[in-house]
Structure 1
């Protein structure tokens, strides 16, 4: 037996959730097919396939039998491509509208000249028009989906012809075809919301060859890592890279949603699709076209669309029982009044057929995935990446948001403000501390090394690498013995801190500074104070959360006084001096009161992000932000957290509106049907109308904009 391998297929004509459900049921019946994910929003079928048991052609044949068009395997990764857009009359469903409409018009015209043949003309038009739907109904029944909308439609149309209502049957078929076409148009609009991102990346790039003046124009697809490209004022950056020469402001709004242009100088990162404003830049390519920020966003959103949200799964389960239940109700409408109360058989058969049409589940089934898809697309276009419907749902239900401090609420670029020497001179203390921290990736350590370099200090040699004790200290062996740079608490554990040192630490921390202690053995050699300023939008971001009734907390390993100083400045609670395991425990405690979001930089905060109900990574489009946590703020602004939650709440509200519309209209028309008010064409128009209303309501989310 061959090993299973991933297989992904793009499908045309799959434009609603019930379509996806039929394909999913058909795939489940095939041997060697597992991990099935069908996304009508992305128009894809993804699965694990054992080709010895089921060849790929069998997959495609099953899809075709259900009335959809497979258009070739879609790569799991690669350069995103836009789908070819046909005019509505070039689509299969558009052609079906024209055919069913033409059949009805032909029957209508001929009936004016041949009145005696009127019933037979309309019957022929109805039966010919319903044939494509009947074939799909039969294929669905054979593949495990006996109760589909095509089944209801076919039964209603054939039944109407049988009781002499052929003219209405022909109208019903035409209206149903129009409803399917409208679903296609709506699905295309939702997909266009994501595919519009593809247009952000230019098709060509100006690559430097042998020298600065030897420039060639090549396809963006041909760029490789290490190539140097010239980005002129007004040009879009062709792929992710770093600036190696030049200085210019770059508009990153198309990628991150950040409205203010960002100054880019040597060493700065730039992202594919961003627009160079006023100076020429030379950029070294760090990601190929298939792996740039835009491509990763599109792939991640498509994956998110393929993963069903909890509410969507609930609606799917409900619809499996809803459709057969509706058919039983329609049968009871036909049988009970004539048998129990002596009602007229033709009248109640007619009303039973109308009930069948009213019961079509399209509007209900599409209510949740349409809203989720629009929400994901709206978020991506604003630099808010949400990796799945489940995360989108959870965001709207959070009762608290926990923030990491360094790099999240603050800029993540602490600077040395004070050096207090107890042994030797200030520069000696700073140089020895920098030597211990020289290979660190911690922001405080980096700041200490930068401060020493800025003063032109020569760092003592170290013997071996530094040893980190998470949340406490870094220790390295210098010429005179082991030295450590650690927190005051760590220093107090290693040796006693006299009253003067403790008083100095307290004073510095009271100014909102973080203090580290340089220890040589058991001797305190000095103190170094650093301060990391809050992000300019941090206070506004916290305020927006509290205005929404959400509790905001900072969880930090920093000392209590520094944490309180920052928290007081921003208007949130502080939980300080938390080691990694204590931070996880704090997340667990907060989750007991309700869903909690954790916001961090996506690197050091990975355990806390994973432990929270939904993890949100800051990162300005970095790899880590795109690959860690459940959501990412590409614009790297604290206000993005409130924007995510507002969008999620809008999506959840939209879902309940859609469900109310779908079930409310059905309830109204069911009542009017039982009283004989609703005709067959009105019944199908009610179903089509509900589907259109639900879809249009969901598409409103595409225009949802975050508050500036």
Structure 2
């Protein structure tokens, strides 16, 4: 029940409810939403979110250990405990291989002389050849050298794989689940459209008015408008009597006239002359609407949106071609989520989700399709990254918790590496199978030839042991030649 004061730029310390005041709260770390959410009296705020521009007081409703962010950390720990471990076939076989070959060599050395009166020296020599040939070097390194080559190659290509297990498991992934904000999109708003509604202004004048009003704000929408104006070399005007209305917009004087940039009219007596259908049209496209007007009329509509990554559609198309299902989970609204999914070809979309919802849906998706990989960046994705068969974190934009939890980190923050990961996994496991098959086949052949006395001890060393080991190593180097399918 403690009362906490939260100033602009502060992080919300604990979960609670707003009492006096209002503000825009950046909840990206919890819900993944790219646009700050306006909070008023009675609304719930979460620990770890950022107060963008307003002043408010909040009453604490939960202890630190019961906060949403603490629950996320707990979910991460529990999810990691649920991960199953698999042992490779080589490790299982190697456990029994050496004792069996020792017994076999002893039998070769002693049984023929003891039972059939054969020369002891000849059979001891053959037994020594058998021991040299049966040395499991080539067999045992067939897997590790391939995995090391794969992980090294991936690192050179900007992909950090945290263990050989994930290289192997990647080929068995049947569905890839994407978080939207910061993964499929860049997580940074940009000005997408300007619709001029008045004959008294041009498009550049609209941008000048909007950018001048928003120039002093750190709000993501303001940054998008100011960046656009800077890119177009549009100068800013001096603003007088500036006023920021949290959750609504800004108003100020330019050349003695009042103007506003807002989500509703901020000047007494001014009105909108636009239907809700037009606003809903932009919302359906996943865009945020900003109205630019003065005391006389509505001048223009500016829309901003979270830019979809340039190569997102190519990545999704490549995964679909490989028979991998694609799913998007997001805390954003349904209209914005489906708009993004339709643009890039995602098949399955789930919206308005909290972190625990993503975790529950992940289990449902796994039951439907099979093994799943989760691609995300924010702390809200961490539990799902841990619970998935393979968690893939966006490196540069990813939170520390997400990257620590994930099994694979895309260090260059580039989802185009996903098809490369699948290609690398399949190529690696194919070469490892070749290594194991060749090692076993050559060993068996040399064993037969050694017992028959056809090959000497030196030939056994040069061909059956050292030569075969070098062959396995050189074959594994081919893994480094795997190319990115998109390039």
Alpha-carbon separation, structure 2, partners of 1:512 and 1:633? 26
Q: For 1:510, which of 272, 280, 284 is the aligned residue?
A: 284
1:657 paired residue among 419, 424, 434: 434
CA contact (8 A) 2:186 2:306 kept: yes
Q: Alpha carbons of 1:311 and 1:698: their partners in 2 closer, same or farther (altered >3 Å)?
A: farther
Q: Supply the distance in 2 between the matched residues of 1:534 and 1:619 (Cα, whole angstroms).
A: 18
Structure of higher RCO (CA pairs closer than 8 Å, 6+ residues apart): 2
SS of equivalent to 1:638: coil
Would the aligned equivalents of 2:376 and 2:398 in 1 still touch at CA under 8 Å? Answer: no
Relative to the length of structure 2, the TM-score reads 0.61
Counterpart of 1:76 in structure 2 is none
* Counterpart in the other structure of 2:336: 562
Map Cα deviations across residues 216-273 of structure 1 (whole Å, 9 max, x no partner).
xxxxxxxxxxxxxxxxxxxxxxxxxxxxxxxxxxxxxxxxxxxxxxxxxxxxxxxxxx
Match of 1:187 in 2: none
Q: Structure 1's 609 and 460: CA in aligned 2 closer, same or farther, altered over 3 A? A: same
Q: 2:381 aligns with which of 589, 598, 605?
A: 605
Preserved CA contact (<8 Å) 1:514 1:562: no
- Normalising to structure 1: TM-score of the pair? 0.43
Contact 2:377 2:397 in 1 (8 A): no
Deviating more after overlay: 625-634 vs 405-414 = 625-634
Residues of 2 paired with 1:623 and 1:406: CA distance?
13
1:697 deviates by 1.2
SS in 1 for 2:187: coil
3-state SS in 2 of match to 1:557 = coil
Match of 1:550 in 2: 324
Structure 2 vs 1, CA of residues 339 and 403 (structure 1 numbering), >3 Å: closer, same or farther?
same
Which residue matches 1:319? 94
Q: Deviations over 1:272-321 (max 9, x none)?
A: xxxxxxxxxxxxxxxxxxxxxxxxxxxxxxxxxxxxx9556x53453232
Paired with 2:317 and 2:448, the residues of 1 have a C-alpha distance of 49
Name which of 384, 388, 401 aligns with 2:163.
388
Q: Structure 2: any 5+ residue segments left out of the alignment?
A: 1-84, 196-205, 230-235, 249-261, 264-273, 291-300
Confirm whether residue 595 of structure 1 aligns to residue 371 of structure 2: yes
Q: How much has 1:418 moved relative to structure 2?
A: 7.7
Of residues 507, 531, 546, the one that matches 2:305 is 531
1:328 is displaced (CA, Å) by 0.6
Aligned to 2:35: none
Aligned length: 343
Q: How big is the alpha-carbon RMSD for the aligned residues of Structure 1 and Structure 2? A: 3.9
Map of 1:256-655 to 2, 5 A cutoff? 315-415=90-190, 446-447=220-221, 451=225, 458-460=242-244, 503-504=277-278, 506-513=280-287, 530-580=304-354, 581-592=356-367, 593-620=369-396, 624=400, 627=404, 629-655=406-432
Name the CA shift for 1:414/1:605 in 2 (closer, same or farther; >3 Å): same
Deviations 1:347-381 (A, max 9, x none): 33222221111110111111111111111111111
- Secondary structure in 2 matching 1:671: helix
The alpha-carbon deviation at position 674 of structure 1 amounts to 2.6
Find the residue that maps to 2:173 and give its secondary structure: coil
Q: Distance in 2 between matches of 1:510 and 1:601?
A: 25
Distance 1:659 1:680 in 2: 23
Cα-to-partner distance string for 1:476-519 (whole Å, 9 max, x where unaligned): xxxxxxxxx99xxxxxxxxxxxxx98745542233343679xxx
Residue 347 and residue 451 in structure 1: after superposition, are their counterparts in 2 closer, same or farther (change >3 A)?
A: same
SS where residue 186 of structure 2 aligns? coil
Q: Distance in 2 between matches of 1:627 and 1:658?
A: 33
Report the CA distance between 1:668 and its aligned residue: 1.1
Instruction: Supply the distance in 2 between the matched residues of 1:569 and 1:649 (Cα, whole angstroms).
Output: 29
Q: 1:691 aligns with which of 441, 444, 469?
A: 469
Query: For the structure 1 residues 583 and 376, does the alpha-carbon distance in structure 2 shift closer, same or farther, using more than 3 Å as the test?
Result: same
User: Residues 334 and 352 of structure 2 are in contact (CA less than 8 Å); yes or no, is this contact kept in structure 1?
Assistant: no
Whichever structure has more helix as a proportion of its residues is 1
- 1:171 matched to which residue of 2? none
**8 Å contact kept, 2:332–2:353:** no
Q: 1:700 to 1:418 in 2, by over 3 A?
A: closer
The whole-number CA distance in structure 2 between the counterparts of 1:460 and 1:560 is 29
**1:21 match:** none
Q: Does 1:672 align with 2:449?
A: yes
